[in-house]
Amino acid sequence: MILHIDMDAFFASIEQAINPRLKGKPLIVGSRGNKTRTVVCAASYEAKRLGIHSGMPSKDAFDICPDLEFVVASQAKYIWTSEQIFELLKGYGFILNYASVDEFQIDILEHPEPLKLAERIRKQIYANFNITASVGIAKNWLLAKLASKINKPNGVTLINDNNFKEILSLTPLNKACGMNGKNGQALMAQGLKTCWDLYLSLPEFFDTNPGKFKEADEPEKPKSISHSYTLPSSSENPQFITAWIRLLSEMVGERLRQQNLVARTVHLWLNNPQTGDFLGQKTFSIATNDSYEIYLRTLKIMARIPKDCHKIRAIGITASGLAQQSYLLLLPEEKRREALVRAMDKINSRFGDSSIIPAQVILTRK
Ligand SMILES: [Mg+2]
């Protein structure tokens, strides 16, 4: 059996848990600080009831409800909470997977009392974090995820052989995982309306994963990833040096992405022929594998370099504090950027490593 745990209005609930003034109020979490020019990345249930939903321009949300409470997304807080929930769930001893930052899957094997277990987990999450979760229980992860949506928020649903037909008949087809986009629309155009219709015409859809999901496989991961370069001669030209830092950041980021890793710590090594080595490092709360972000982080370390160290002969960038990239990106801007970066990686792997590079890097070729 699989338990699918889905936190209710996760970001908004965390904000309400932290700030009691926001409890019970319609609230949106925006991805940027300008409250009328951002995108809703989470809405509290009070806001959802008014028809406000994530992905909506915040301006439209304020048109619906001018008194809406507004908070800027604070990723570090959400990731921290998510990791704490993950740790709590780990304590139950079953195989556990991240499905997304606010969704967790547990393979509870042949547990005799899945409903009681689900209740215990929900109570413990509420006691520790003051936020609610909905849980779905079923024979495979796809049905368990579907089940978790049925009694949302703050509910539990078990799908078994007895209620399988009834629940699927009552659930619109686009509620099934992977059916809320074009696939679902195409099938609905063919006259399929509910998940039961889908089951009748494509039974294997609900059965392709008969019980088990892949355990979060942890292949031997490297401790760190670095790239360095020795310049043909020492340079004091800041644009030239930062162009190299940019290029090395690109290379480090690409290697991280190839291995599906993210890094929290960035190290910068600069060699000055007279004064020797400058070594700096900084650990950030949010792990990344975005090359541009690695570059910006490196510049923060660079700002600490003593003035007399600016003649540079060799440069190295290392990413450490590595972890598997286990959850999806949170904010719409990040998702767009991730798609762009992945597309660039694809082009570079197909047409050669420097087919697309940031313009700044061209300076390294001079
Ligand atoms: Mg959720």
Q: Which of 277, 267, 248, 270 is nearest to 320 (CA)?
A: 267
d(CA 45, CA 152): 10
d(CA 311, CA 13): 51
Neighbours of 126 (CB within 10 A): 14
CB 108, CB 1: distance < 8 Å: yes
CB 114, CB 78: distance < 8 Å: no
d(CA 107, CA 110): 9
How close is the Cα of 7 to the center of ligand 1, in Å?
Answer: 4
The alpha-helical segments, DSSP class H, found in 94-228 are: 114-129, 141-150, 164-170, 182-189, 195-201
* Residue 349 CA from chain centroid, whole number: 24
Place of tokens 């650990």: 283
d(CA 345, CA 193): 39
Q: What pLDDT shows up at residue 96?
A: 85
Beta strands at 133-138 and 2-7: parallel, antiparallel or unpaired: antiparallel
**What is the CATH code of the structural domain delimited by 224-365?**
3.30.1490.100
CB 346, CB 338: distance < 8 Å: no
Q: Which of 309, 314, 319, 311 is nearest to 249 (CA)?
A: 319
Encode burial over 272-307: b for 16+ CB neighbours within 10 A, e otherwise: beeeeebebeeeeeebbbbbebbbebbeebbeeeee
Q: What pLDDT shows up at residue 208?
A: 56
CA quadruple 187, 191, 194, 196: dihedral, nearest 10: -90
Which positions are annotated as active-site residues? 103
How close is the Cα of 214 to the center of ligand 1, in Å?
Answer: 21
Q: Which of 16, 156, 114 is nearest to 148 (CA)?
A: 156
What are the percentages of helix, strand and coil residues in the chain, rounded to 5? 45, 25, 30
Cα-flanking dihedrals φ and ψ of residue 354, to 5°?
A: -110, 30
How close is the Cα of 176 to the center of ligand 1, in Å?
Answer: 15
Handedness of CA 25, 28, 29, 35 (dihedral sign): negative
How close is the Cα of 11 to the center of ligand 1, in Å?
Answer: 9
Q: What pLDDT shows up at residue 204?
A: 82
CB within 8 Å of 355: residues ≥ 6 apart:
347, 348
Q: What pLDDT shows up at residue 326?
A: 67
Where exactly are the structural domains of the chain? 224-365
How close is the Cα of 5 to the center of ligand 1, in Å?
Answer: 8
Please report, in tens digits, the pLDDT of each residue of the chain (366 residues total).
Answer: 899 999 999 999 999 999 999 999 999 999 888 888 999 999 999 999 999 999 899 999 999 999 999 999 998 899 889 989 999 998 887 888 888 889 999 988 888 889 999 999 999 999 999 999 999 999 988 899 999 999 999 999 999 999 999 999 999 998 888 888 888 888 889 899 999 999 998 888 887 554 444 444 445 678 889 898 888 889 988 899 999 999 999 999 999 998 889 999 999 988 888 887 788 899 998 889 999 999 999 999 988 877 766 788 889 999 998 888 765 566 777 778 888 888 888 888 887 777 778 888 888 876
How big is the CA angle at 356 (ends 352 and 362), to the nearest 5 degrees?
A: 105
